[in-house]
Structure 1
Amino acid sequence: MDELVDILDENGNYTGKVCLKSEAHLKGLFHPTVHIWFYTSEGKILFQQRGKGKKTFPLLWDVSVAGHIEAGETFQQAALREVAEEIGIPITKSDLKPIGVFKSMQEHSETLKDNEFHHVFLCGLNVPMSNLKKQESEVEELALIGLSEFKSKVDVKQLDGFVPHSVAYYHHIITEIEKIL
């Protein structure tokens, strides 16, 4: 879907400009996104395998839920909408724990420059996996991976099959989940 997104400057400040997501990607304009990492009380992290039709990183394992923040939408509104769309469960703003904003610059091709500021949240997964309803166009599979298993992969930089976020980003997610558990 080609929604309107707010344009940010290189420091993540709103510029007052809006354009289509496709134009932001074509021109490499910074724009905001949300990342929501779900974890269980048993120390597992929910990962989604990106859909095979995705333009970026098809079939790689990624954050539980992610998406673009539509123009004029708050971070929390976007997070609630994306969770409902991608995994089909209702959450509330109070379920979201903000843990930071991360600048990401990825040039996939001459016509796809993905410059984003990820607004990152943690959220407890308090329903069984059978209650999750994946969005077929976005999500290929969902899986729970043990926190210690994922931490081991990050520590030795064996992240084949995962979206290439920075090791520092992944370490931050792990550390913040460990603080809660």
Structure 2
Amino acid sequence: MKEENVILVNEADEPIGLMPKMEAHEKAVLHRAFSVFILNDKGEAMLQQRAKDKYHSPLLWTNTCCSHQRDGESNIEAGKRRLMEEMGFITELNELFSFIYKATFDNGLTEHELDHVMIGTFNEAPTINPEEVEDWKWMHPSDIKTDIANNPDEYTAWFKIIFERFYDHISDNSNKS
């Protein structure tokens, strides 16, 4: 399978080139990415446990899905594509916000991403792809916040960063209704 390219961007999210994904992670080059959060009607978030054979962060819990946009693909199109590839379903998505983060891993790779965070709603069980996902579960955001504080090593580095912003965003918006 041919390695995918990531879209290199500047801090204004303007594309400045393409690079193979692994090379971008080895060189810690800023590139475009996305993270999807799926909530059910009870307000619970769908988490996935990364597959045991993933090249980094295996068996750690994280948001519903995340990946990198392909050249010419919108953020929403990319989110829907990856939801289907990892979790076996598609739903409408809305972009909430974007931000830049950097996280270094024990294997020498670094995520340096301008991450577009999206949200959608789904109320059924996913059909997980075992090459990507080991397990999944629903958790209320306040329980996730507590569990991250108590068990930080069970969650991906990026999820801990993104979840704080996501939690603040959904808390702020629920206070406005």
Q: TM-score, normalised by structure 2?
A: 0.85
Please give the residue correspondences for 1:117-156 in structure 2 after superposition, counting only pairs within 5 Å. 117-126=114-123, 128-129=124-125, 132-154=126-148, 156=149
Q: Structure 2 CA distance, aligned partners of 1:81 and 1:23?
A: 23
Distance in 1 (CA, whole Å) between partners of 2:159 and 2:22 is 24
Listed as ranges, the gaps of 5+ residues in structure 2 are none
Q: Partners in 1 of 2:89 and 2:160 — Cα distance?
A: 29
| Percent of aligned pairs with the same amino acid | 24
What is the rounded CA distance, in whole Å, between the counterparts of 1:34 and 1:41 in structure 2? Answer: 23
Name 2:56's counterpart in structure 1: 56
Q: Secondary structure at the match of 2:146?
A: helix
The residue type equivalent to 1:7 in the other structure is: L
Mapped partners of 1:61, 1:110: distance in 2: 18
1:106: which partner in 2? 103
CA positional deviation for 1:122: 0.9
Does the 8 A contact of 2:62 with 2:159 survive in 1? no
Match of 2:152 among 159, 164, 167: 159
Cα distance in 2 for partners of 1:8, 1:52 equals 30
Deviations 1:20-60 (A, max 9, x none): 11221122211111111011111211000011111221100
Evaluate the alpha carbon distance shift between residue 157 and residue 172 of structure 1 in structure 2; reply closer, same or farther with a 3 A threshold.
farther
Is residue 90 of structure 1 aligned with residue 90 of structure 2?
yes
How many pairs were matched up?
Answer: 173
Once the two structures are superposed, the pairs formed by residues 3-14 of structure 1 within 5 Å of their partners are: 3-9=4-10, 11-14=11-14
Q: Work out the CA distance in 2 between the residues paired with 1:12 and 1:114.
A: 18
Residues 115 and 12 of structure 1: is their aligned pair in 2 closer, same or farther, counting only changes over 3 Å? farther
Q: Which moved more, 1:22-31 or 1:168-177?
A: 168-177
Shift in alpha-carbon separation, 1:71–1:53, aligned structure 2, 3 A: same
The structure-2 alpha-carbon separation of the partners of 1:148 and 1:28, relative to structure 1 and needing over 3 Å to count, comes to closer
Would the aligned equivalents of 1:6 and 1:72 in 2 still touch at CA under 8 Å? no
2:101 counterpart SS class: strand
The alpha-carbon deviation at position 64 of structure 1 amounts to: 0.6
> Cα RMSD (Å) of the superposition?
2.3
Shifted more, 29-38 versus 18-27: the winner is 18-27
CA distance in 2, matches of 1:89, 1:75: 17
Consecutive unaligned residues of structure 1, counting only runs of 5 or more, are: none
Question: In 2, Cα distance between the equivalents of 1:150 and 1:43?
Answer: 12
Matched-pair contact (CA < 8 Å) for 1:96–1:121: yes
Contact 1:37 1:65 in 2 (8 A): yes
**Contact 2:25–2:109 (Cα < 8 Å) also in 1:** yes
Q: Is the 8 A contact 1:6 1:19 kept in 2?
A: yes
